[in-house]
C-alpha cells in the first residue's frame, strides 16, 4: 500500500484495506451467486452485495482523500456490511462464507475508524 504523506489517511489505512477487500469479496460473491442453481433464493443477498460493494468502494475513496465526511460514510458502511454479512451467512458455499467474514471485518474497522 502507498506510503502515506498525510497522517489522517495513515491512521485510516486498516479501514481502507478492509473496505477494498470487502468490495472485492462482494463483487466476486455476487457474480458467484448468479451462477448458483438456487439463485432464486439469493435475491436479497444479491441486492445487499450490490449496495455493500459500492459503499465500500466509495468509503475507501473518501478516506484516501482525507475527506471530512469519511467518518459519516463509514458509519453507514458499517451498517450495510453487517446486514450483508447476515445475508451471506445464510448460505453454505465458500464464496458466501468468505464474503461474510470480509464484511464483518470491514464493519469492525469502519466502527473503530468512525468512533
Q: Where does this chain bind a copy of itself (CB under 8 A)? A: 1-6, 9, 16, 20-21, 23-25, 27-28, 30-32, 34-35, 37, 39-40, 43, 46-47, 50-51, 53-55, 57-58, 60-62, 64-67, 69, 72-73, 76, 79-80, 94-95, 98-99, 102
Distance, in Å, from the CA atom of 14 to the CA atom of 32, rounded to the nearest integer, reads 27
Cα 10 to Cα 39: distance, rounded to the nearest angstrom: 40
Q: Which is nearer to a copy of itself, 21 or 104 (CB)?
A: 21
Note whether 32 and 93 are within 8 A (CB).
yes
Cβ 54 to a copy of itself, closest distance in Å?
6
Smallest separation, CB 112 to a copy of itself (Å): 19
Amino acid at each position: 500500500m502507498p506510503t502515506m504523506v498525510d497522517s489522517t489517511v495513515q491512521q485510516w489505512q486498516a479501514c481502507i484495506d478492509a473496505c477494498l477487500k470487502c468490495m472485492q469479496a462482494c463483487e466476486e460473491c455476487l457474480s458467484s451467486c448468479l451462477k448458483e442453481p438456487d439463485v432464486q433464493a439469493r435475491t436479497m443477498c444479491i441486492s445487499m452485495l450490490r449496495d455493500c460493494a459500492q459503499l465500500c468502494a466509495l468509503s475507501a475513496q473518501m478516506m484516501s482523500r482525507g475527506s471530512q465526511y469519511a467518518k459519516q460514510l463509514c458509519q453507514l458502511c458499517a451498517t450495510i456490511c453487517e446486514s450483508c454479512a447476515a445475508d451471506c451467512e445464510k448460505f453454505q458455499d465458500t464464496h458466501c462464507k468468505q464474503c461474510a467474514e470480509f464484511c464483518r471485518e470491514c464493519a469492525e474497522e469502519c466502527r473503530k475508524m468512525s468512533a
